[in-house]
Amino acid sequence: MARTSSDIALKTRGADKASSWPKARLDLFKFVPFRLNRLAAEVSSALAVEYQGRHGLDIP
């Protein structure tokens, strides 16, 4: 199938239009891996307080 200059022009215009669309922003508070990471950090912090009080241990 031979390509014509109008085919190439249409593809180029489509690429220009797609690049001008605004990028979707990622809402971290709806992103499950981020939420799980934050939950793990909170649990770790709470446990660190317990370990420190009972046994004198830190996270490191």
For the chain, the structural domain boundaries read 24-60
For tokens 């370990």, name the residue.
51
By the 8 A CB rule, do 44 and 59 touch?
A: yes
- Print pLDDT tens along the chain (60 aa): 566 666 565 555 555 555 677 888 999 989 999 999 999 999 999 999 999 999 998 777
User: pTM to 2 decimals?
Assistant: 0.53
3-state secondary structure of 28: helix
Distance CA(9)–CA(15), nearest Å, equals: 10
Among the residues of 1-60, which ranges form H helices?
5-20, 32-55
What is the identity of the amino acid at 9? A
